Amino acid sequence: MPALINSSSPFPEPDPRLIRIAEDLKPKLNKTAMPALEVIEVERDDATILGWTKKHAEKQLHEIPPLTSGQQFIVDFGDHLVASRLDFDVAAISHDIEPADSPARIKLTFGEILNDVAESFEPYEGFLSKAWLPEETIVLQKPYVKPAPMAITNRYAFRYVKFEVISTSIRFGLRFSNIVATAVSSATRDPLPALTFSSAEAKSLSLLSTDFDLLRRIDTVAIATLRDCMQTVYEDGPRRDMRLWIGDLRLQALCAYATFKDYDLVKRCLYLFAAMPFNEEGLLCACAYEDPEPHTGGNSIVDYSLLFTNTLLDYIEASGDQETGHDLYAIAEKQFHLALRRVGEDFIYNVPVPKDLLGGGEWHFIDWNEELDKSTAFQCIVIFCTKALIKLASTLGKPEPVFAAPAYNAKLSEAIYAKAFDGKAFVSGPKKQLSWASNAFAVLAGVSKSKEEGQEALKAAYESAASIKGNTPYLHHYLCEAFIEADLPELALKHIKEYWGSMIQSGFDTFPEAWDPLKPRFSPYGSFASMSFCHAWSCTPALLLRRLGLE
């Protein structure tokens, strides 16, 4: 998820009652001991998308001679995991009769992908803190002849770990053994049932038998991505940022209802957001922290604050828990009271020009794409979320929201239709920009006049080479959701196979934060090493495939 934005707004005190409810729902993490499976070597391979391939090392860990200054090895755990600790034994092996006569300095690098352990992080050119880089240095003040237990207790997300001996004296080397990670998640690591493909489903979706293995693999990786983001909150990424964001939460929660059948962790996250507003008016923060105690993040994303309502409605429909709906309804409703102040007399929402990439204290996100004109897409998000508020009020038996009534929503739809629809598709801004975002959210908001018109608009945006596409799986999800809403399931499936399938072909064990198969090292943060390679909003094929009828 995006980086924090500094804000001069003072943060209100958290609501102690809502915090208490959230803390009572804090899950106990499942812990699984996972030993390193093998030693590997990494080779440059320009035929692969990310440029590296692995091979089995000639020697296993117990066969490697004691390592001296400048030597290293890499272990593979066989699967992506989030480890609360990494344990290993290390012994100082003297080259002669003299004992170890100096400290030893060791560096560990934790890799979600091969690039992490194959490439140097230097020179680091990202604008996020270098402290996020997944590496740690240890000094053994008194290396012991007998294997001594060591533990890394900072949490890391990884599949690979590179052990480097930075320095010993000339008299001894280090031998490593018993490398074991403690994997943690609030979800189980037990595999969920694999997708099945009935002949009727395969025929209706034009599926070939050759598609089955790819779709099962996509689903497995999507579920692994979700699992490793399910900690004591729904984290956006266990490598970075390790915190809770509303936009990610909505997609994670929908996936969890379809897979792990989780409700309590979603409820906890809803209460954390509700308890810690961004400002005194009650605007929700975009992200929230748990430690050292729950507190608000330093920004607010307007589309996220509106999507809180959709997330609350989704939760009630999935769990049947109307009590939570009644408890948090006023907070959800407040977001519209605040956001709709930007709607003018022409019923058009005014998206302010951002001061910089991150957009100031209140941010309009939609996607990590500086080229994207957001005005049409954002108006459609307002309509999409307002419809959710109307449905939420009806579900809870509450009065119809005065400022978000169906008649008002209809005027929002009519205004953006008249302004943005060019007869073929929805465009945005003074340059009449064509984009996936504008057309996906127009369909999800029901702005098009007919299903057929929505289908044609979506296809026009999707197929045009001039269209502004998506840089993150977040927007790619909403594109696929719009395909399904418009009754274009084959296009949704085609896109899942091509987009998430390209991540599978690139060797990802979990799905990354941002991905463009034509620009595989794209990063919104200025450095590929700043990326999260297991990211919450990327897990949605597990939901989309089930919405397409695959179980």
Domain residue limits at 35 = 30-185
Tell me which of 196 and 240 has the higher pLDDT: 240
* CA-wise closest residue to 214 among 477, 504, 481, 533: 504
Within a domain: residue 126?
yes
Single residue among 129, 161, 185 that ends a domain in this structure = 185
Q: Mean pLDDT across the chain, nearest whole number?
A: 94
Tell me which of 55 and 361 has the higher pLDDT: 55
Single residue among 135, 170, 185 that ends a domain in this structure = 185
Single residue among 140, 167, 185 that ends a domain in this structure = 185
- Asked if 22 and 53 sit in the same domain, the reply is no
- pTM exceeds 0.85, yes or no: yes
pLDDT one-digit tens code per residue, 126-142? 999 999 999 999 999 98
pLDDT band at 361 (very low <50, low <70, confident <90, very high): low
Average pLDDT of span 394-419: 93
Instruction: Inform me whether the pLDDT recorded for 446 exceeds 90.
Output: yes
Within a domain: residue 77?
yes
pLDDT one-digit tens code per residue, 168-186? 999 999 999 999 999 999 9
pLDDT at residue number 360: 45
Average pLDDT of span 110-138: 97
pLDDT at residue number 404: 77
* CA-wise closest residue to 257 among 216, 288, 226: 226
Tell me which of 201 and 147 has the higher pLDDT: 147
- Asked if 285 and 165 sit in the same domain, the reply is no
Q: DSSP string covering 520-532, please?
A: TT--TTS-GGG--
pLDDT at residue number 143: 81
- Asked if 280 and 316 sit in the same domain, the reply is yes
Instruction: Inform me whether the pLDDT recorded for 374 exceeds 80.
Output: yes
- Asked if 510 and 474 sit in the same domain, the reply is yes
Instruction: Inform me whether the pLDDT recorded for 207 exceeds 90.
Output: no
- Asked if 20 and 35 sit in the same domain, the reply is no
Q: What is the CATH number of the domain that holds 124?
A: 2.60.120.260
What is the spatial distance between Cα 417 and Cα 161, in angstroms, rounded to a whole number?
53
pLDDT one-digit tens code per residue, 9-19? 468 999 999 99
Average pLDDT of span 439-458: 97
- Asked if 163 and 221 sit in the same domain, the reply is no
pLDDT at residue number 1: 42
- Asked if 347 and 429 sit in the same domain, the reply is yes
User: Cα-Cα-Cα-Cα dihedral of 7, 8, 12, 18, to 10°?
Assistant: 0
Total domains in the chain come to 2
Average pLDDT of span 354-360: 50
Q: What is the CATH number of the domain that holds 232?
A: 1.50.10.10
- Asked if 496 and 520 sit in the same domain, the reply is yes
Average pLDDT of span 415-423: 98
pLDDT band at 200 (very low <50, low <70, confident <90, very high): confident
pLDDT band at 359 (very low <50, low <70, confident <90, very high): very low
Amino acid at 450: S
* CA-wise closest residue to 383 among 405, 358, 352: 405
pLDDT at residue number 353: 74
Q: What are phi and psi of 400, to 5 degrees?
A: -60, 130
Within a domain: residue 243?
yes
Within a domain: residue 205?
no
Beta bridge partners of 300: 362
Amino acid at 286: A
